[in-house]
Every structure is written in structure tokens, then in C-alpha cells.
Amino acid sequence: MERISKGFWIWGEFTEADSAFLSEIRNSVQRILKSPYFDLHLTLAGPFNNINESTVAKIKKICKNHSCIKVNPLKYAYKDDFFESFYISIKSSEQLIKLKNSLYGASRSNSSKDFCPHISLSYGDHEKHMKEYLISELVAIKKAITIDKISIIDVNEDRYMWKSLEKIELKANSKYNLYI
């Protein structure tokens, strides 16, 4: 199946402290592996051809009733894929999958069966030996990273453009999660 290069994606974004930590790593990676610039994120859903006001309202309701999510990084990893060239792999969890499925439900779209959560650090066609070198040189990854907001992103991969249309805070410090 061919990748949709223009559309809308839903990203999970991180607390200020975790974003600062991840930015340092991304900057170290991108000194070696040249890459288009993009905001740090964990892709939760997409691509969608369109996101209308009704869908945005549903996403806001999900976020209002959904707690921040702690995700567990596993390791630095890479693929021979431009948009997954070098990244931090994330352990999939029931909470992360339920949020992903809720977001697909808000858009009345079927959830992608393949869900390989990760935080991209570099996009590009990079040589394997450079990626392996980086893995041996980078700092240890934190045991937990917190997603505290959801962003709706207008994407044009052909032009390496990722425009944030809306950032929506997740409910902080809740004992309960509500899924729509």
C-alpha cells in the first residue's frame, strides 16, 4: 500500500521537561544524520484525508477526559525507511492503544492494525553503519516519557512540512480514564 504524503495526522507530544531531554538527543543525532526539521512526537493516528470541526470537537472531548500517558522507551532503533530512519522505540501499552483507537473512532476511520509506537529522531536515507555508530554513542534513554498533549498536524511530506493546527492538553493527574 502506498504511503499518503499529504493529509492530517494526530501526534502525541511531551511535557516540557521530556521535550527538552528528547531535543538534546535529536540534536545530537541530527549533527550526524542530516534530516528535515520536525517537532518531536509519537504518531498516534493517521493519515486522514480530512479532519473536520466535528472530529476536532470529538478529539477535544477525548483529551478532556484522558489522563497524561507515561510511555516506556525500549531502545534506539532504525529502519531502512525515510520516515523511520532513526528513532526511539516505545513499548506498546493498553493505555496507548486505547487512546489511538479512540482517536481513530473520533474520525470514524478504521484503526491501523500496524502500530509500532516510536519517537523519530531523524528522517532520511542514512547509512546503516552511521545509525549503529550513533546507538553506541548516545546517552541512555529515560525509563518513562510523558505525553501531555495531542496535536493535529497538517502534513505535506513531499515538501517536508508539518504544520500544527491545534494542540490539545490531556487531563492532568486523573485517577480515571474515559474512552469514547
Helices (DSSP H) in the chain: which residue ranges?
A: 16-32, 53-64, 94-106, 128-137
Instruction: Please say whether the beta carbons of 46 and 9 come within 8 A.
Output: yes
Domain ranges of the chain: 6-169
pTM above 0.85, yes or no: yes
**What is the chain's length?**
180
Residues 94-142 have pLDDT tens digits of 999 999 999 988 877 766 667 899 999 999 999 999 999 999 999 999 9
pLDDT at 173: 54
- The contacts of residue 52 (CB under 8 Å, 6+ apart) are none
CATH architecture entry for 6-169: Alpha-Beta Complex (3.90)
Q: Taking the CA of residue 160 as centre, how many other CA atoms within 13 Å lie in the half-sphere pointing to its CB?
A: 9
